[in-house]
């Protein structure tokens, strides 16, 4: 019974299913277990879906709330920002709030100034001339109906058509003007920001000094808050706490009076305020994440060591052990009877008892098995849930870590911002930096050279060592191979000798010779063994050689050491350090180096004496601005055209169509002849709750059917293509299947030609009286219509026809879609790293297991993300339905031409393109419903896919 | 050992049977189109193989002859015009779309700027709206603002203007090109524009080819947008897709179906498309799989 002893830790069910050698688990048991498992899975699946839907709804509500909160924060931040930029600014910057581009004139950006001012003036004039009335027109979408009236010229009057408003143009231009307000707002912001930037660039040194002066005080506050982990205090309280720091700073600055001094003090206090606010918030975030972390730690601990788990585990283990004990006892009885039977036979009574024992023992075996299974499942489930919790913990911990480590206090931030954002325009600052770098470089020229030499020497040696070691290994390997060859030559010789001897000895009995030969290893086996040994030796040799390779040559490592020395000890940034390597390699003598140093210092002094006010800055001129569009602002150049294209030809049309859902735009209100207007939510009402007289009255059930069919279609179309495609790809790529390329080409042929061509062809082939019908009749002798669009179908037939039409549509979709999956999966199958299979083979995994634990997860990992896109694509899949059935057969008599196989999208198309009964408003409403469906499912999938657990697997 | 072998043989036989049957199913419709294109009369569409053979369908495409069973001459002699229209649309789209896609992809792959993640999210959300909805308005925009009603030039604008949204595959490819190449070039003093032109684009040749070809192929297969924007009355301006669809299904409008002409036209259109697809399929696979693994 020792097979059972390690059941507690064996998680592999295939191993646990075999009980004794040759004895399988009874069939009924596995069937029952299978059914139970299936039922359980189904229930779990349904519950999971319900939970997902609820969770998604909740997350939608939460994210809408968050959106409002964020919008509020944005507006608040905007106002704060504007106030700051008004307060700390010069006159031209302040004027920029009203007169666009004013600061440009004052700071030498004449071109920018002119553009902004002209834009402002032109916009305001145009707005009052056209824009205001256009926006006003949005209220009613036009009032002048086109009508017949008198048209008079100077001489005579005639009756003619007088064209009035066109609702759709009123809508388009009105909305365009509304959106242009956004543009105006952006221009305003850019004027303000430009003004502020110009001011800060001009006052770069002033701010730099101010920040430097405030830095020690800021540090004092910052350290105190960080050290004491101050949280839960109001800003006022903290400000009182640091009143002394404020006072000290004020005293240190020694105000001389005047507006400038007041400004300086204001700004310093603004910095200190910022430090307090910022760090207080930071501390609170830290506390929050620590709390979260502690909570999840606690949860993990409770789950792993808590009462619930241990007691349940103990119970399961106890039950298992008890069943095992019972079985052992029963087995003992059984075996003793068995022994007796073998030895002396049994009496009739004993025989009965023996049979009873055997039956009892089988029952107990089953009990042990099921208890063991339960124990294993329980443990596996526990581990799985624990894994999930720990994954969540890892994310939280990483986040908390980032919060802790990426903190920069407000004052330091201001300094960084000042340097990076405004300092790069100040030539003096850049030049000074350059001089300092050079000086620091020549100052430690000797050390850098030493670092270079050291790096060179160390890798020269390492590489030489490697080479000699590689040679040694190679020798060793050659010897090993020679030895293996010699060994097997000997084996072969022995074999030949044995055969020859046998031939001589048993020359009269060919049977015996055959038997002797059979007892010896065959030539093929010897060759196989030899090859295996040689392969193993080669493999380990290659591995060892590879391990000895270094990533660097001596030169490149020397470069690396010198550069890293410069970066670490001379604070020279990498992009400055790399060009300096040339100087390092030039091998200057110490005298030359010190001469260079002196030269640099002299140049620095000269430059500094020339610019006594430490200022040589100005905003970028036109040329520099244009240049930046090809360099650091290249993304603006790249994105402007595509973005405009998307904005005007994708986003705007969608916005309009959403708006149209709230109008009565249809064949009765078709401009330019007739006007349409706003009708509020009437379209939605008539869709969801149709009243007598509405177009959907009496069609409510059919509409629900259409939505359901859309969803079912999307699910089936997505997954049938996915799984069948994978199946076909696996078949084509299976080892031993010949003509792989041929099979692939056959399938790919069907997607290589334009889809509508093959769809039209299929619709003709399957149409009533088409080739397929003819063929069917020729073979089976009776009529069968594959795609029946006959509008005269009676209602009892129509549902049946609709059902198999749907089936045929799905089959055709498989015809269309499977080759895509084949193509993708074939690519993936070739890309799966081979070592995954090799290592799993060593672990003893069979082909089946490899498929389920390597191949499928890999395919799922790569194709998984595209499934949701495919799903949405299928909800909006137009071609297959439109070209095959056009939505038919039609639902009873309905004015809307709704068909049984119509998807929402094809129905929408019908509503829009119907030549005399077009209903645009309702079509847009349906479009919004489609969007809601897609968004809903995307969010469900997005919530479900936990990137964390999957990321670990393949990277 | 032996049972393993028999099992293998049984498996392989099964696979060959399944693949063989599937191959027939997959090829049959294509074969049907080719056979029909040589069929003598359109009523033969009830059978797989035509009863009489002729090359006149192909001649008809190039403006020679007239189907014997039809008296209407409404659709005669247009095919070359349609082909040319589609070729113009496809070529223009190909150039504009490819530049838009590559520009967007490069900007999103290499630059970190304000609104970047918003753009990526918006791209996802916009993809969920049924794109056809926008056509209602675009029809009016083309008619009233661009005065391109019923002209195939409107298609050029519509197809290529929003094409920047298809940056996903190219962005995935750019992401796989190491950033250190950019950095090295920057140290040498190259501007971002120079890096894009002289370093990244040559390295990204496969994806450039892929984008060029896919955007070239798209207009050939689009019926829905083109028919709505151009309209069925402007036969001069049709693309191949509208023309072929009308030939195949226009029984009500033209009193007679042009099945065989449709088949011949399909063959003429499909041959270059199929060749292009076959040539680019490895990029197609690389685009889908590469982006996901490295993404």
Per-residue model confidence (pLDDT) at position A613:
63
The average pLDDT across A279-291 equals 89
Q: What does A287-304 look like in DSSP terms, one character per residue?
A: HHHHHHHHHHHHHHHHHH
A826 touches chain B (CB under 8 A): yes
Tokens of A708: 């359901």
Q: What does A723-752 look like in DSSP terms, one character per residue?
A: HHHHHHHHHHHSTT---HHHHHHHHHHHHH
- Tell me which residue of A419, A414, A422, A433 sits closest to A570, measured CA to CA: A433
Cα A361 → chain centroid: 55
The average pLDDT across A816-845 equals 79
Q: Among A638, A646, A913, whose Cβ lies nearest the Cβ of B162?
A: A646
Least confident of A524-533, A712-721, B94-103: A524-533
Average pLDDT, chain B: 83
Tokens of A803: 């059902």
Shortest distance, CA B233 to any CA of chain A (angstroms): 12
Shortest distance, CA A857 to any CA of chain B (angstroms): 13
Say if residue A177 is exposed, middle or buried (CB neighbours under 10 Å; 0-12, 13-18, 19+): buried
- pLDDT band, residue A123 (cuts 50/70/90): very high
The average pLDDT across A258-274 equals 85
Q: Among A651, A861, A912, whose Cβ lies nearest the Cβ of B136?
A: A912
Question: What chain A residue is nearest to B219 in terms of C-alpha separation?
Answer: A754
Which is higher by pLDDT, A126 or A33? A126
- What's the rounded Cα separation, in Å, for the pair A262 and A87? 12
A774 touches chain B (CB under 8 A): yes
Which is higher by pLDDT, A147 or B185? B185
Which is higher by pLDDT, A195 or A362? A195
Kind and range of the H or E run holding A159: strand A157-162
Residue A567 in this model has a pLDDT that exceeds 80? yes
Least confident of A184-188, A879-883, B94-98: A879-883
Shortest distance, CA A632 to any CA of chain B (angstroms): 7
Per-residue model confidence (pLDDT) at position A180:
93
- pLDDT band, residue B252 (cuts 50/70/90): low
CA atoms within 13 A on the CB side of A790: 13
Tokens of A660: 């149209």
Which of A760, A817, A819 has the most B C-beta neighbours within 10 Å, making it the best mutation to test the interface with B?
Answer: A760
A432 touches chain B (CB under 8 A): no
**Residue percentage of chain A with pLDDT more than 70:** 92
Q: Are A441 and A572 in contact (CB under 8 A)?
A: yes
- What's the rounded Cα separation, in Å, for the pair A855 and A726? 10
Residue A401 in this model has a pLDDT that exceeds 80? yes
Tokens of B223: 């019926």
Average pLDDT, chain A: 83
B10 touches chain A (CB under 8 A): no
Say if residue A586 is exposed, middle or buried (CB neighbours under 10 Å; 0-12, 13-18, 19+): exposed
The average pLDDT across A670-680 equals 82
Shortest distance, CA B255 to any CA of chain A (angstroms): 17
Per-residue model confidence (pLDDT) at position B18:
93
The pairing of beta strand A147-152 with beta strand A157-162: antiparallel
Per-residue model confidence (pLDDT) at position A505:
83
Measured between beta carbons, which residues in chain B are less than 8 angstroms from residue A775?
48
Q: Are A373 and A381 in contact (CB under 8 A)?
A: no
Shortest distance, CA A762 to any CA of chain B (angstroms): 6
B31 touches chain A (CB under 8 A): no
Tokens of A292: 């979260």
Q: What is the ipTM of this complex?
A: 0.90
Residue A952 in this model has a pLDDT that exceeds 50? no
The average pLDDT across B176-192 equals 82
- What's the rounded Cα separation, in Å, for the pair B227 and B225? 6
Tokens of A332: 């003992």
Q: Are A862 and A854 in contact (CB under 8 A)?
A: no
Q: Do A654 and B134 touch (CB under 8 A)?
A: yes
Q: Among A645, A771, A908, whose Cβ lies nearest the Cβ of B32?
A: A771
Which is higher by pLDDT, B240 or A345? B240
- pLDDT band, residue A837 (cuts 50/70/90): confident
- Distances A72 to A8, A79, A173, A861 between C-alpha atoms, Å: 57, 11, 30, 39
Question: What chain A residue is nearest to B287 in terms of C-alpha separation?
Answer: A824
**Residue percentage of chain B with pLDDT more than 70:** 88
Residue-wise pLDDT tens digits, A799-816: 778 888 899 999 999 999
B133 three-state secondary structure: helix
Measured between beta carbons, which residues in chain A are less than 8 angstroms from residue B18?
731
Which is higher by pLDDT, A63 or A618? A63
Residue-wise pLDDT tens digits, B82-119: 999 999 999 999 999 999 999 999 999 988 888 888 88
- What's the rounded Cα separation, in Å, for the pair B32 and A807? 22
- What's the rounded Cα separation, in Å, for the pair A526 and A524? 5
Q: Among B140, B228, B263, whose Cβ lies nearest the Cβ of A172?
A: B140
Measured between beta carbons, which residues in chain A are less than 8 angstroms from residue B101?
642
Largest CA distance in chain A: 139
Is the bond into A672 cis (omega within 30 degrees of 0)?
yes
Measured between beta carbons, which residues in chain B are less than 8 angstroms from residue A745?
278
Most confident of A252-256, A341-345, A446-450: A446-450
Measured between beta carbons, which residues in chain A are less than 8 angstroms from residue B141?
172, 653
Per-residue model confidence (pLDDT) at position A196:
93
Residue A918 in this model has a pLDDT that exceeds 90? no
Per-residue model confidence (pLDDT) at position B295:
33
A934 touches chain B (CB under 8 A): yes
Residue A258 in this model has a pLDDT that exceeds 80? no
Per-residue model confidence (pLDDT) at position A5:
37
Per-residue model confidence (pLDDT) at position A94:
92
Residue-wise pLDDT tens digits, A465-515: 888 888 898 999 999 999 999 998 998 898 888 888 888 888 787 888 888
- What's the rounded Cα separation, in Å, for the pair B208 and A685? 49
Give the angle A137-A139-A144 at the CA atoms, nearest 5°: 50
A747 touches chain B (CB under 8 A): yes
Q: Do A754 and B221 touch (CB under 8 A)?
A: yes
The average pLDDT across B189-198 equals 88
A162 three-state secondary structure: strand
Residue-wise pLDDT tens digits, A26-85: 667 777 877 888 888 888 888 888 888 888 888 889 989 999 999 999 999 999 999 999
Tokens of B260: 């065989």
- What's the rounded Cα separation, in Å, for the pair B135 and B161? 13
Residue-wise pLDDT tens digits, A532-564: 888 888 888 888 887 777 777 888 888 888 888
Measured between beta carbons, which residues in chain A are less than 8 angstroms from residue B274?
749, 752-753
Residue-wise pLDDT tens digits, A737-795: 888 889 988 888 888 888 888 998 888 888 877 788 888 888 887 777 777 666 566 66
The average pLDDT across A919-935 equals 89
Shortest distance, CA B88 to any CA of chain A (angstroms): 17
Cα A493 → chain centroid: 63
């Amino acid at each position: 019974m020792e097979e059972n002893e390690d059941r507690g830790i064996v998680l592999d069910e295939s191993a646990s299913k075999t009980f004794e050698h040759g004895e399988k688990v009874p069939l009924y048991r596995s069937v029952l277990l299978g059914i139970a498992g299936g039922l359980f899975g189904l229930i779990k699946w349904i519950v999971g879906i319900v939970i997902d839907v609820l969770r998604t709804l909740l997350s939608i509500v939460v994210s809408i709330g968050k959106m409002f909160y964020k919008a509020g924060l944005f507006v608040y931040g905007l106002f704060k920002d504007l106030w700051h930029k008004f307060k700390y600014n010069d006159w031209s910057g302040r004027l920029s709030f009203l007169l666009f581009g004013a600061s440009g004139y004052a700071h030498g950006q004449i071109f920018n100034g002119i553009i902004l001012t002209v834009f402002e003036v032109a916009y305001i004039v145009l707005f009052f001339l056209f824009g205001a009335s256009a926006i006003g027109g949005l209220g009613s979408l036009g009032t002048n109906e086109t009508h017949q009236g008198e048209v008079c010229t100077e001489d005579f009057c005639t009756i003619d058509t007088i064209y009035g408003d066109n609702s759709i143009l009123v809508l388009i231009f009105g909305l365009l003007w509304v959106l242009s307000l956004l543009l105006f707002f952006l221009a305003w912001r850019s004027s303000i920001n430009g003004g502020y930037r110009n001011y800060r660039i001009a006052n770069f040194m002033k701010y730099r000094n101010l920040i430097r002066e405030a830095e020690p005080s800021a540090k004092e506050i910052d350290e105190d808050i960080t050290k004491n982990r101050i949280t839960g205090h109001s800003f006022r309280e903290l400000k009182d706490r640091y009143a002394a720091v404020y006072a000290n700073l004020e005293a240190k600055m020694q105000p001389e009076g005047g507006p400038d001094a007041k400004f300086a003090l204001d700004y310093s206090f603004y910095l200190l305020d910022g430090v307090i606010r910022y760090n207080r918030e930071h501390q609170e975030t830290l506390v929050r994440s620590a709390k979260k972390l502690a909570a999840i730690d606690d949860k993990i601990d409770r789950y792993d060591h808590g009462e619930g788990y241990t007691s349940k585990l103990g119970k399961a283990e106890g039950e298992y052990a008890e069943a095992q004990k019972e079985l052992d006892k029963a087995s003992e009885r059984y075996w003793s009877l068995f022994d007796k039977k073998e030895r002396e036979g049994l009496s009739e009574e004993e025989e009965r008892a023996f049979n009873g024992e055997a039956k009892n023992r089988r029952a107990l075996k089953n009990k042990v098995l099921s208890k063991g299974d339960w124990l294993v499942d329980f443990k596996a489930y526990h581990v799985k849930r624990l894994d999930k919790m720990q994954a969540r913990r890892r994310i939280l911990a990483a986040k908390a870590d980032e919060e802790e480590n990426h903190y920069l206090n407000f004052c330091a931030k201001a300094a960084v911002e000042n340097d990076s954002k405004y300092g790069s325009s100040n030539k003096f600052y850049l030049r000074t930096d350059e001089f300092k770098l050079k000086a620091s470089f020549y100052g430690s020229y000797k050390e850098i050279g030493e670092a270079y030499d050291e790096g060179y020497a160390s890798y020269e040696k390492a590489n030489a060592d490697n080479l000699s070691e590689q040679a040694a290994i190679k020798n060793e390997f050659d010897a090993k191979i020679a030895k293996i060859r010699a060994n097997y030559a000997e084996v072969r010789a022995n074999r030949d000798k044995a055969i020859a001897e046998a031939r001589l000895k048993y020359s009269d009995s060919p049977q015996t010779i055959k038997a002797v030969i059979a007892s010896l290893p065959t030539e093929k086996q010897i060759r196989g063994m030899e090859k295996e040994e040689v392969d193993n030796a080669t493999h380990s040799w290659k591995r060892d050689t590879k391990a000895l390779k270094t990533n660097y040559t001596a030169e490149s490592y020397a470069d690396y050491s010198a550069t890293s020395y410069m970066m670490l000890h001379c604070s020279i940034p990498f992009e400055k350090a790399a060009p300096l390597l040339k100087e390092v390699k030039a091998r200057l003598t110490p005298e030359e180096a010190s001469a260079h140093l002196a030269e640099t210092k002299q140049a620095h002094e000269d430059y500094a004496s020339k610019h006594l006010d430490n200022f040589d800055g100005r905003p970028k001129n036109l040329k520099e601005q244009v240049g930046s569009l090809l360099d650091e602002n290249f993304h603006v150049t790249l994105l402007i055209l595509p973005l405009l294209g998307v904005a005007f030809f994708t986003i705007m049309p969608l916005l309009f169509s959403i708006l149209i859902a709230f109008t009565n735009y249809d064949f009765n209100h078709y401009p330019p002849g007739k006007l349409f207007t706003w009708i509020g939510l009437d379209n939605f009402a008539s869709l969801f709750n149709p009243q007598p007289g509405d177009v959907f009255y009496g069609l409510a059930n059919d509409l629900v059917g259409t939505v359901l069919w859309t969803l079912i279609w999307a699910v089936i179309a997505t997954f049938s293509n996915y799984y069948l495609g994978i199946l076909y790809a696996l078949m084509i790529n299976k080892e031993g299947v010949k003509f792989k390329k041929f099979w692939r080409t056959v399938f790919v042929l069907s997607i290589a030609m334009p889809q509508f061509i093959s769809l039209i062809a299929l619709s003709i082939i399957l149409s009533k009286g088409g080739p397929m019908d003819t063929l069917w009749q020729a073979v089976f002798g009776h009529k069968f219509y594959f795609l029946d669009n006959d509008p005269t179908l009676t209602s009892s037939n129509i549902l049946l026809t609709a059902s198999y039409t749907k089936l045929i549509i799905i089959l055709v979709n498989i015809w269309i879609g499977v080759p895509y999956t084949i193509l993708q999966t074939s690519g993936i199958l070739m890309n799966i790293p081979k070592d995954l299979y090799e290592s799993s083979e060593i672990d003893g995994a069979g082909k089946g297991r490899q498929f389920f634990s390597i191949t499928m997860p890999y395919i799922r990992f790569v194709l998984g993300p595209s499934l949701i896109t495919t799903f949405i694509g299928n909800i909006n899949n137009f071609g297959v339905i439109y070209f095959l059935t056009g939505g038919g057969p039609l639902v009873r008599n309905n004015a809307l031409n709704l068909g049984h196989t119509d998807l929402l999208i094809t129905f929408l198309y019908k509503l829009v393109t119907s030549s005399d009964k077009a209903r645009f408003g309702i079509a847009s409403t349906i479009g919004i419903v489609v969007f809601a469906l897609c968004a809903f499912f995307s969010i469900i999938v997005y919530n479900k896919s936990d990137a964390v657990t999957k990321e670990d697997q393949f990277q | 050992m032996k049972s393993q072998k028999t099992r293998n043989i049984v498996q392989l036989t099964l696979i060959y049977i399944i693949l063989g049957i599937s191959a027939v199913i997959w090829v049959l419709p294509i074969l049907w189109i080719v056979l029909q294109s040589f069929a003598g009369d359109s009523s033969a569409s009830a059978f797989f193989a035509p009863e009489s053979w002729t090359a006149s369908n192909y001649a008809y495409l190039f403006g020679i002859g007239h189907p014997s069973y039809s008296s209407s001459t409404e659709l005669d002699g247009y095919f070359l015009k349609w082909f040319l229209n589609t070729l113009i649309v496809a070529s223009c789209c190909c150039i504009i779309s490819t530049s838009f896609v590559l520009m967007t992809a490069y900007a999103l792959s290499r630059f970190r700027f304000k609104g970047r993640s918003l753009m990526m999210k918006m791209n996802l959300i916009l993809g969920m709206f049924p794109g056809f909805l926008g056509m209602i308005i675009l029809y009016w925009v083309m008619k009233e603002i661009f005065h391109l009603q019923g002209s195939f030039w409107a298609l050029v604008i519509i197809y290529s203007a929003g094409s920047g949204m298809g940056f996903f595959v190219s962005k995935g490819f750019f992401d796989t090109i190491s950033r250190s190449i950019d950095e090295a070039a920057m140290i040498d003093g190259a501007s971002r524009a120079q890096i894009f032109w002289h370093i990244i684009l040559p390295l990204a040749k496969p994806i450039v080819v892929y984008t060029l070809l896919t955007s070239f192929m798209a207009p050939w297969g689009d019926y829905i947008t083109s028919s709505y924007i151009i309209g069925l009355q402007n036969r001069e301006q049709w693309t191949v897709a509208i023309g072929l669809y009308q030939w195949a299904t226009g029984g009500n409008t033209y009193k007679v179906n042009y099945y065989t002409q449709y088949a011949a036209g399909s063959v003429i259109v499909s041959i270059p498309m199929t060749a292009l697809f076959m040539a680019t399929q490895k990029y197609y696979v690389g685009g889908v799989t590469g982006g996901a693994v490295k993404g």
